[in-house]
A and B are shown apart, each in its own frame.
Chain A
Amino acid sequence: MNRLEATRIVVEVARDAPIVASLGHPAYDLFAAGDRPQNFYTWGSMGLASSIGLGIALARPDLRAFVLDGDGSLLMNLGSLATIGLLRPDNLVVVVMDNEEYATTGGQQTPTAHGADLAAAATAMGISAVTQARTANDLRAALAASRLIVAKVAESGPTGRPATDCVFLKQRFMAAIGNPEAATEGR
């Protein structure tokens, strides 16, 4: 399973639910797998995708919030696992696309290439229902029940590039999930 294939599965399962993507290749693949207004593409703030997803999940318990993170990105904000493990929102699904490299910056290996185990870390931090997925079938099954999934994926290369206007992306996202930004509406 490569990352684009895994991303397509997440998009299919999410249907019209919000998906937050970490910057770089996870966001590019989300765009290629299907641009939709419920996609929140980050263009910076490396490491914070799971935190943003947590905030959306807490704000909107009526929605299921998905996160597409990377192994390098999550390693930049491991404390997020402790916070998610503390709060345990049942409507947050974090998918870590673990290709064992910093693909967006040229393919330097991450510690997961040498045994660092993000699924074990998530479990140790109190997140229930953590799964490691190596195949498409694993991933489909995990998406039905897991709170955090480490998807071991092959690097598939950059695929596309979403809109770069951050305010447009935010306003489109907020309207699509049913809480449009007040400033975009007259009264």
Chain B
Amino acid sequence: MTETPAWAPAVCEGVYRAGIRDVVYVPDNPLSHVLCAFGGAYRDVRLLLATREEEAFGIAAGLYLGGRKPGVLLQSSGLGNSLNAITSLLIPYQIPVLMIVSMRGDAGEWNAAQVPMGRAVRAILDAIGVAHSTVESTAAAADTVRVAADTAFGTRIAGACLLPRRVTWQQGLTPGSDRRLP
């Protein structure tokens, strides 16, 4: 693991300032920096690994029912694994969860298999009624995340904060250089 890029602790700061202390996650390469940043500076945030994103939303729903404010970290591909959980649990029961979505398939992608879902993410979120915003820069990350979370928990409508690859790329790297060859 290389040095933590500045956008990652900014995301953590936004999550933390929104009062989220329980984060359920399915790993992803950029999100590994967020997990590291939580582990370093925010020791009272509980990080919970799920085996699949749909399961993560079930755990998050239970955390909310028990009085907590949950966040879910997932890659955009995992949104496809989660649609039934979101549309038949979070939305009809008005159970708010903040999703932090690490984007694949957007500008800078090298893997064609990631593109169809990546392109569809915003249209799907609009279609199912999940509010979404995009972290446009490192400087804007903490506020964008905090506002998305406050809106979700205030309105009880699940919200998503998207992390585009143009932000999560490490400076100086070219598209495809995040590939870890076996």
Contact = CB atoms under 8 A, between A and B. Distances in A.
- What DSSP secondary structure best describes chain A's contact surface? helix
A166 B66 contact: no
B58 A60 contact: no
A58 B52 contact: no
B147 interface: no
Nearest to B55: A51
B55 A55 contact: no
Interface string B33-59: 000000000000010111110110111
B60 A59 contact: no
A44 interface: yes
A60 B52 CA distance: 23
Interface of A: 20, 40, 42-60, 63, 65, 77, 79-80, 82-83, 86-87, 166-167, 169-170, 173-174, 177, 179, 181, 183
Interface residues of B, number: 32
A52 B58 contact: yes
A49 B59 CA distance: 9
30 contacts: A40-B65, A44-B87, A47-B54, A47-B58, A48-B61, A51-B50, A51-B55, A51-B57, A51-B59, A51-B61, A52-B65, A54-B58, A55-B59, A55-B60, A55-B63, A55-B65, A55-B66, A56-B62, A56-B63, A57-B66, A59-B62, A59-B65, A77-B55, A77-B58, A83-B48, A83-B55, A87-B48, A167-B94, A177-B66, A183-B156
